[in-house]
Chains A and B, each alone.
Chain A
Amino acid sequence: MALLSVTNLSVVKRDRLLFENINFAVEKGGLLYVKGQNGAGKTSMLRVLAGLVAADSGEVCFSQQNIQTSRESYHQNLVYFGHKLGINQTMSAVENLQFWCNQHQVSISIETIFSTLLQLNLVGLEDIPVANLSAGQQRRVALARFWLKQNAQLWILDEPFTALDTQGIDLLSKQITKFLNSGGAVIMTSHQRLDLDYLTDELTLEYRI
């Protein structure tokens, strides 16, 4: 049974048809890798899949339910990581993550947040405003969500490896593989070569004029 199924999806942006009549499904434990040139509509595709933007036609269903109508139950099972980190610059890493967990109904102790930040090599940076962290460190703070939200079934990641060092890429790749092995589904884009030891489905978007 498909976890996320997409039927006849078309998206228009700035009066330009990005793609039309796209059909695919992602199973539990499936990894879908969305490829395409710059401007082919990868980000738009992921934003539609996450439910941030409504498609111009077609339907996205999560467990057979349209994501636009059953928004809440869908978002309970989703972690989305986009171009924008969703991290407030004047708040500290811990404050940011606590707030995020609060909004996403993840009940987690502050100790767990600290130990996750430890895993992500952010020791000593937990309590200072995020603005003082480097770009890669800020990304790590945002990526901590993938460690904190345990009950998600689907991850959508848009260029997650940008600005990460090799060790960071390694950490995230391991976490993704672990999630897939436990039955989660992942949809992602990346300009780097994927170095995951896992069976990958590919979806290539053509650049259209």
Chain B
Amino acid sequence: MWKWLHPYAKTERTYHLCQSLLPWFSLLGLLVIVVATVWGLAFAPTDYQQSEAYRIIYVHVPSAVLSKSLYSAMAIAGFVGLVWQVKTSFMAMVALAPIGATVTFVSLITGAAWGKPMWGTWWEWDARLTSQLILLFLFLGVISLYKAFEDKQQAGKAAGVMALVGVINLPIIHYSVEWWNTLHQGATIMKFDKPSMPAEMLWPLLLAILGWALVSGAIFLIRMQNEIIRREIKRPWVVELAIKNASASKGK
């Protein structure tokens, strides 16, 4: 792990790696998302119970799946940063946090929108919506802790600790909320995850998840680059890069 990571502890390398990965992630991601969305919204069969309303899963499920993975990714980045003292790892953590928060927010909005036709209310204290809400709070906590520090290196470490506390708590939160939900709610809750989803519905869903992951990856790469530049604005290689870019755009 260390051997593989080590060269990328140097920010300049990481910057160029992001640069070369970016087109793949962004183009492929856009393509997959368009295909999945069109397929899911227009061609996938109608659900016999929920009719057309179920189609929101092509947005809701990818965002819900990604939100938790992004939190874990953020915590892993924080962990790597704390244990091996890799500065770039904290930058990755910081780059991931707002993406995760946004995706969680999207999953909440779409969850609420889905709830309207299904439950008749915009908000139901359903186990999954509730734990998504708590996840959003955890994301916001990490982001605001990071923002509170002037010294960004210190900020990275502090936010890393908090991300780890959160990630240890995540399963506990998940089970406690589920348990709380079964205690307090009766039959009003409909289970959406049918174990047998027909393949015509499932394929576009899987594609949508992949597309969301790729686009999130692309946004992450851009944010990572920005973070590196912002932090190292005074380093010689950044200055060189800026001069090179400026002359290139003049040439056009």
> In the complex, A touching B, CB below 8 Å?
yes
Residues of A near any B CB (own CB < 8 A): 12-16, 209
The reply on B191 being an interface residue by CB < 8 A is no
Please indicate the chain A residues that have their CB under 8 angstroms from the CB of B152 in the complex.
Answer: 14-15
Interface string of B212-252 (1 = CB under 8 A from A): 00000000000000000001101000000000000000000
Residues of B near any A CB (own CB < 8 A): 150-153, 231-232, 234
Please indicate the chain A residues that have their CB under 8 angstroms from the CB of B231 in the complex.
Answer: 15
Is B150's CB under 8 angstroms from A14's CB? yes
Please indicate the chain B residues that have their CB under 8 angstroms from the CB of A16 in the complex.
Answer: 234
Choice from A13, A14, A15, A209 contacting B232 with Cβ under 8 Å? A15
In the complex, which residue of chain B has the Cβ closest to the Cβ of A16? B234
Is A14's CB under 8 angstroms from B234's CB? no
CB distance from B143 to the nearest CB of A (A): 19
How far is A15 from B152 in the complex, measured between Cα atoms in Å?
A: 7
5 further A-B contacts with Cβ under 8 Å, apart from A14-B151, A15-B153, A15-B232, are: A13-B153, A14-B150, A15-B151, A15-B152, A16-B234
In the complex, which residue of chain A has the Cβ closest to the Cβ of B235? A17
| Among all A-B residue pairs, the 10 with the closest Cβ atoms | A14-B151, A15-B231, A15-B152, A14-B150, A13-B151, A12-B153, A15-B153, A14-B152, A15-B232, A209-B234
CB distance from A202 to the nearest CB of B (A): 28
How far is A14 from B233 in the complex, measured between Cα atoms in Å?
A: 12
Most B Cβ at <10 Å: residue of A12, A13, A14, A209 = A14
Please indicate the chain B residues that have their CB under 8 angstroms from the CB of A14 in the complex.
Answer: 150-153
In the complex, which residue of chain A has the Cβ closest to the Cβ of B150? A14
List 15 A-B residue pairs with CB atoms under 8 Å apart, sorted by A's residue number. Answer: A12-B153, A13-B151, A13-B153, A14-B150, A14-B151, A14-B152, A14-B153, A15-B151, A15-B152, A15-B153, A15-B231, A15-B232, A15-B234, A16-B234, A209-B234
In the complex, which residue of chain B has the Cβ closest to the Cβ of A13? B151
Please indicate the chain B residues that have their CB under 8 angstroms from the CB of A15 in the complex.
Answer: 151-153, 231-232, 234
In the complex, which residue of chain B has the Cβ closest to the Cβ of A208? B234
CB distance from A169 to the nearest CB of B (A): 34
How far is A60 from B234 in the complex, measured between Cα atoms in Å?
A: 27
Most A Cβ at <10 Å: residue of B150, B152, B234 = B234
CB distance from B81 to the nearest CB of A (A): 13
CB distance from A44 to the nearest CB of B (A): 11
Please indicate the chain B residues that have their CB under 8 angstroms from the CB of A13 in the complex.
Answer: 151, 153
How far is A14 from B152 in the complex, measured between Cα atoms in Å?
A: 6
In the complex, which residue of chain A has the Cβ closest to the Cβ of B85? A54
CB distance from B115 to the nearest CB of A (A): 45
Most A Cβ at <10 Å: residue of B150, B153, B231 = B153
